[in-house]
Structure 1
Amino acid sequence: MAVTNAVDLSKLYTRNFELNDETELVFHQSEIGDVGCVVWDAALVLCKYLETRDFDEGNAWHGKTVIDLGSGTGAVGLVAAALGALTVVTDLPEFVPLMDHNVNYNKSVIAAGSCSAQPLVWGDSSQTQNLKEKFFPQGLDFVTIADCVYYEESITSLVETIVELCSDKTTVLCCYEERDIGNKSEMQRKFFEMIGKRFDVSEVPLAAQDPHFRSPDIHIMKFTPKLCVVR
């Protein structure tokens, strides 16, 4: 079955993003499409967190392996790649053209690392395993997720995919914005309840985040796999 693009690549607008060393990335967003067509505030907060003291001002990313889930524009993975990480940005197949466009546009900026745009449907175990074998045969260092708890029907699949990707050396960085509209609060509660069964969860304090890219309504959480999981 042919994939219909979720974005119109002829109707793009840009958002410039500056690293601490004044290197500039350009994120192309689409005027038409689903929620993944734009860069959300939580993604920007997570992007800047990658350059804080927790990661040696960004120097700790050199050579690290990273997969970004629900990437949309690919922003978080592109920043990690610009800091020297070996990254794969993933989303539904219809978002791959937009991610590819941004990877190619920023190619010179991400030369310190690498970035590949790949389709990944959450809950598709064979797809997840294929990505691990192809890009991360030695295991993943980081999984990054920004504002991905949108649809109730996808929560279980998202958790399953996170679990499949992680080994005991993997850290998950999950950034999300509090939202009171609809059932978003209940969805976030359900997501963290499921995650808490498999991971130890801690919150990054505001003081550890970038002073200009942080908000009390936006939370960065760290998940580390539990050493012993009661099934």
Structure 2
Amino acid sequence: MALVPYDSEGIGIQKFHKPQTTYTFVNRTIQIQQDWKHLGVAAVVWDAAVVLCTYLELGAFNLQGCSAVELGAGTGLVGIVAALLGAHVTITDREIALEFLKSNVQANLPHDIRPKAVVKELTWGQNLGNFSPGEFDLILGADIIYLEETFVDLLHTLEYLCSDRSVILLSCRLRYERDHSFLQMLAERFTVQEMHYDLEKDVHIYKAQRRDLREDL
């Protein structure tokens, strides 16, 4: 499957064609390289990532010492911010995007924090054997709900990576009916609640946790 852009619904894609974009999180300037031309959606910063970074910075979750994984990381902005906030982060994407992802991570983390951030390949539903079941406290995803053909593999991946203690945070703009359908699928397997809504950027943040089977009895 090619990493190609999807319909941006008139957002104004000019910002995606900029070779670099700059943010300030955790009192640091973060400069993210973008490469829309060659990697499409995997190499630009989406609003959902910025909203999730802001949410994490506000301290809704204590990331100090937390074991976290970012799915479909793209530019790596969310994983970078999580590492700066004290988490041990595995930042993942498909193989084709890894070198680009690594360059952003290394450029934006000081030397003493770099060991806390590992870039690793993860194709949803395929190479899960490279990870331990339920090994992460926190699973992060920004704008990863957009291709219907990936939904089953994404759900399988979330189930595999989650333990009873794990928290999933998904930041997304609900563009199509299929996006709502994914949330319904998610709610069949996890307890899901909306934690935040950014009105300006039209981005939702959902929290999901493994469902207690006793709830269904």
TM-score of the aligned structures, taking structure 2 as reference length: 0.84
Q: CA deviation at 1:53?
A: 4.1
Give the SS at the match of 2:60. helix
Question: After TM superposition, where is structure 1 displaced by more than 6 Å over at least 4 residues in a row?
Answer: none
Q: Is the 8 A contact 1:72 1:91 kept in 2?
A: yes
RMSD: 2.6
* Letter of the 1:158 counterpart: L
- What SS class does the counterpart of residue 43 from structure 1 fall into? helix
SS of 1:72's partner is coil
- Report how many residues are paired: 202
- TM-superposed CA distance for 1:111, in Å, is 1.5
Q: Deviations over 1:60-94 (max 9, x none)?
A: 21110110001111111110001110001111100
Question: Displacement, 1:24?
Answer: 1.6
User: Which residue, 76, 80, 83 being the options, matches 2:82?
Assistant: 80
Q: What is aligned with 2:9? A: none
**Whole-angstrom distance in 2 between the partners of 1:12 and 1:117:** 24
Which of the residues 145, 148, 153 maps onto 1:149?
A: 145
- Aligned counterpart for 2:207 among listed residues 222, 225, 228: 222
* Distance in 2 of aligned mates of 1:19 and 1:110: 17
**Alignment partner for residue 24 of structure 1, among 29, 32, 48?**
29
Deviations 1:104-125 (A, max 9, x none): 111317718711111111111x
Displacement of 1:214 after TM fit?
Answer: 5.7
Q: 1:129, CA displacement in angstroms?
A: 3.2
Q: 2:179 aligns with which of 151, 164, 188?
A: 188
**1:128 corresponds to which residue?**
128
Supply the distance in 1 between the matched residues of 2:195 and 2:111 (Cα, whole angstroms). 28
Which structure has more relative contact order (CA 8 Å, sep 6+)? It is: 1
SS in 2 for 1:34: helix
Question: TM-score w.r.t. structure 1 length?
Answer: 0.79
Structure 2 unaligned segments of length 5 or more: list them.
Answer: 5-16
- Give the C-alpha shift of residue 5 in structure 1: 9.8
Residues 1:113 and 1:52: Cα distance change in structure 2 (over 3 Å): farther
Partner Cα separation in structure 2 for residue 188 and residue 109 of structure 1: 39
**How many angstroms does 1:128 deviate by?**
1.7
Classify 1:205/1:37 alpha carbon distance in 2 versus 1 (closer, same or farther; 3 Å): closer
| 1:187 maps to amino acid | R
Partner residue in 1 for 2:154: 158
Report the 3-state secondary structure (helix = DSSP H, G, I; strand = E; otherwise coil) of the residue aligned with 1:196.
Answer: helix
